[in-house]
């Protein structure tokens, strides 16, 4: 029986096992999908164990999406473009990395008007996946807090996408022009903190869609503020389903039953 699963830290909150198990069952595939590492376990040790156990494939989440690259044998174009991996397939002993986050995100959205202005908060793997897969007819701008790694993130975005990373402090002044606002950081996953204030949301274009890639029971503070200012909101579950469906297709060479995956959540 083939084994699949998820690596990351933390991962105990993940809904991927329920979702992928439902897809496997619906497709009549005899395989398992489980959490594959313990908290604090070193990534190199995890990958060595997965190779030894001949795990057929696995998903990768924070904080391993970029760190895993040197431990893999090959990257496909989606992962090479953004230098981040969220899906790995074992092909005859070779571990090949893919990224389905970006395509999964855009697949989860309603039709986007041409020329929409999209603001992405964050510069990590999820943000780069969204930027790298963005439709050509949208205008993407990226913001991040000015931490010690700001310059490194700025250089990376410039090299990969010819985009300038802007300080998060400059975003509120631009919110009136934003059509889609995305939190692609992990802020709000473990606490009730938001990267923007309630006052900031009052300056956001009224028709804007606000998205938080974090998913947890109940709304994040980011989405709570957006709801309070009467903005349309979307949590991270639709993206989770769509990127997971694309991972399933990579592993199984057939489409996943998205309805079954959604029902499992």
The answer on whether 40 is annotated among ligand-binding residues is: no
Residue 65 annotated as catalytic? yes
| Rounded (10°) CA dihedral 216, 221, 227, 233 | -40
The answer on whether 163 is annotated among ligand-binding residues is: no
Residue 224 token pair? 């709570």
The answer on whether 61 is annotated among ligand-binding residues is: yes
C-alpha distances out from residue 254 to 23, 35, 40, 79, Å? 11, 23, 34, 21
d(CA 30, CA 162): 45
Residue 106 token pair? 């855009």
The answer on whether 57 is annotated among ligand-binding residues is: no
DSSP summary character for residue 121: E
Q: Which residue shows structure tokens 């795990």?
A: 55
Looking at 25, 65, 94, 117, which residue is catalytic?
A: 65
The answer on whether 125 is annotated among ligand-binding residues is: yes
The answer on whether 15 is annotated among ligand-binding residues is: yes
The answer on whether 92 is annotated among ligand-binding residues is: no
The answer on whether 14 is annotated among ligand-binding residues is: yes
d(CA 104, CA 239): 6
The answer on whether 191 is annotated among ligand-binding residues is: no
d(CA 236, CA 182): 10
- Give the β-pairing of 2-7 and 57-60: parallel
CB contact at 8 A, 153 and 121: no
The answer on whether 30 is annotated among ligand-binding residues is: no
d(CA 118, CA 103): 15
The answer on whether 218 is annotated among ligand-binding residues is: no
Phi and psi, residue 233, nearest 5°: -130, 160
The answer on whether 126 is annotated among ligand-binding residues is: yes
The answer on whether 3 is annotated among ligand-binding residues is: no
Phi and psi, residue 80, nearest 5°: -65, -35
Residues catalogued as catalytic: 65
- Residue ranges for the known binding site for shikimate are 14-16, 61, 86, 101, 215, 243
- Residue ranges for the known binding site for NADP(+) are 122-126, 213, 236
- Residue ranges for the known binding site are 14-16, 61, 86, 101, 122-126, 213, 215, 236, 243
């Amino acid at each position: 029986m083939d084994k699949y699963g998820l690596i990351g830290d933390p991962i105990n909150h993940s809904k991927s096992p329920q979702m992928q198990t439902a897809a496997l069952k619906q497709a009549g595939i005899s395989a398992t999908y489980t959490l594959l590492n313990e908290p604090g376990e070193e990534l190199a040790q995890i990958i060595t164990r997965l190779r030894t156990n001949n795990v057929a494939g696995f998903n990768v989440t924070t904080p391993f999406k970029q760190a895993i690259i040197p431990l893999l044998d090959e990257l496909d174009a989606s992962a090479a473009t953004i230098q981040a991996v969220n899906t790995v397939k074992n092909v005859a002993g070779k571990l090949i990395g893919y990224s389905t986050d970006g395509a999964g995100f855009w697949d989860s959205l309603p039709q986007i008007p041409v020329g929409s202005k999209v603001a992405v908060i964050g510069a990590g793997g999820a943000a780069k996946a969204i930027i790298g897969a963005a439709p050509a007819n949208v205008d993407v701008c990226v913001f991040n807090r000015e931490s010690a790694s700001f310059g490194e993130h700025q250089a990376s975005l410039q090299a990969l996408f010819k985009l300038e990373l802007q300080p998060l402090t400059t975003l509120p002044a631009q919110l009136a022009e934003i059509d889609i606002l995305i939190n692609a950081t992990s802020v709000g996953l473990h606490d009730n903190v938001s990267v923007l204030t309630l006052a900031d949301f009052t300056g956001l274009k009224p028709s804007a869609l606000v998205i938080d890639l974090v998913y947890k029971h109940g709304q994040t503070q980011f989405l709570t503020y957006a709801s309070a200012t009467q903005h349309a909101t979307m949590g991270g579950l639709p993206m989770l389903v769509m990127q997971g469906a694309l991972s399933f297709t990579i592993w199984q060479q057939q489409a996943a039953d998205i309805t079954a995956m959604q029902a499992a959540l």
